[in-house]
Structure 1
Amino acid sequence: MKIDLRSDTLTKPTPEMLEFMMNAEVGDDVYKEDPSVNELERRIATMFGMDSALYFPTGSMTNQAAIKIHTQPGEQLIADAYAHVYNYEGGGVSFNSGVSCKLLSGHRGMITASQVEEAINPPDFYHSPLTTLVCLENTTNKGGGACYDFEEIKNIKKVCDQHGLGFHLDGARLWNAMVANNEDPKSYGEVFDTISVCLSKGLGAPMGSVLVGKQQFMDKAIRVRKILGGGMRQVGYMAAAGIYALNHHIDRMAIDHQRAKELGSQLEKIAVVTSVEPIDTNIVIFKLAEGPLKQRFMEELTEKQIFISDMGQGKLRIVTHLDYSEAHHERFLAFLQKFK
């Protein structure tokens, strides 16, 4: 029995999702004539109380489009040093938009309003890049699935409004944050100018992300998507997977969160584990002591066909997800309990 916990992107469509996909009504989405895509976009725009939404093939393209919409070449965005838009999107901020990043040292990938305020370059000082955008990530990937306090998000929004800055949320795992904290999507729609949400992580769809936002920004989104090569044709089969996931896979994320916490609790009892970071959602980040015991731990994981991610700098990552069943969970817990 293979247990793959490297990422929540590894899920495969359930039989019910596949049946729903195969029965989807489709058209040419480049002409905006795919009924399933149009329904998905309407559904997510309504959920967040935003003006409109646009379906993208990937989360990175969704974030990169948002950054392009909000900025001009030579300008600068503010983000945490752990931000996905900086670390894991291939340098797209500079390549696609000609924009630099001012990276802040937040807590587990989360920055504060006071940090943002201090990081804004004076707009009349032409020697430094013009600050025009703030990007947050919720939950934080590199920060171990940490969730922002929504009050701090609102404080950052006030700073953005005072300085005329755009406000974008990389919400690849926003569904996890909203489930964990019992939050309303409309609250996020009231604060951010644009939000990207992923369908292929916790929701378990095979592909796709959606950019949702205010109309003044979304009017530019379809053109930017075209420039980035994101125009798709009969993609309603994939959009239907997202619709099915919205209907059936949001509330069950609480199970992923509980299993992650149970794994973290067990890891803390093992001598070779030197630290386990706080667990808010479905990501567990921990460190092992250097030495032969660490090597044996990793070798036994491989022997048991249990796969996790090495994040570098001594950090290891576990991500629970839709395809991590109760049987998988019991087997992994048993391994951890027996490891000496």
Structure 2
Amino acid sequence: MAKVRTKDLLENFNLTLVAGEDGIHREITTSDISRPGIEMTGYFNYYPMERLQLIGKTEMAYFLDLTPEHQKERMEQLCTDITPGIVISRGMEIPQAMLDAANESGVPILHSPRTTTRVISRLTNYLEAKFAPFTAIHGVLVDIYGVGVLITGQSGVGKSETALELVKRGHRLVADDSVEIRQEDYDRLIGNPPPLIEHLLEIRGLGIINVMTLFGAGAVRSYKKISLIINLELWDENKQYDRLGLDEERMKIMDVSLPKATIPVRPGRNLAVIIEVAAMNFRLKRMGVNAAEEFSERLTAMIDQGNDETE
């Protein structure tokens, strides 16, 4: 899991540091953001001090109605040793009591001109992406017609060669050999390449090639949501492969279950075209068109019709 510090927010968002400069290296340990409204009333029994604190128009209006003594007291309680920072939204003027308490305790105060809802949304999305569960899988990730297809299989089965053919056919490479995957939501997996091998593809006999240099910037992507898994395996004469597609196989990565198809590999099979069609068929299924189910229904109807004629 990546470490996030308060100074990272300054570098990535339109925020201004106005107080507590000594604490910009404080670590943020959770993606949750707190709005300390109840704390402004003096109730600190359940104060989530480890969270980033955000003060909007409502909290600020209540704070300004407090006496100077109560303002000082509330800010001293808000600014703890582990509080990573306080964000003030809407470009509101910051009372001196807040600035004094922040400078004394070393809690950074970050000023934003944006609305409270916009600030919460952007900061939460950023922090959740940083703290998302993470894993790495041996495989190739390609964007095919907008569908993120993760190609897996044993080493040497032809994953990279298939990816190269897909790139030649106009699709986009995301990662080869190793795919870093983070779970950004309960049902959303995002794949990206390790920085060391970004845009690179290894072809046995040729070595390392740079896909962006050879095919242009439109042939690569930095990240992509994974929607479908294609597993390549050497053809086994004793194994019965699915010929209709009625039984959907699935594979679980972290907490997310994804549809998976196993494609047997042998000479003469154009894997790139097969995977391309698999991606298009996946899109059709999402739109409610399932060729396998339609065939099954037709077959059932013909059998029923034949039985009726026999009777």
Q: Which is higher, the Rg of structure 1 or of structure 2?
A: 2
Greater strand fraction, Structure 1 or Structure 2:
2
> TM > 0.5 between the two?
no
In the superposition, the TM-score normalised over structure 2's length comes to 0.23
In the superposition, the TM-score normalised over structure 1's length comes to 0.22
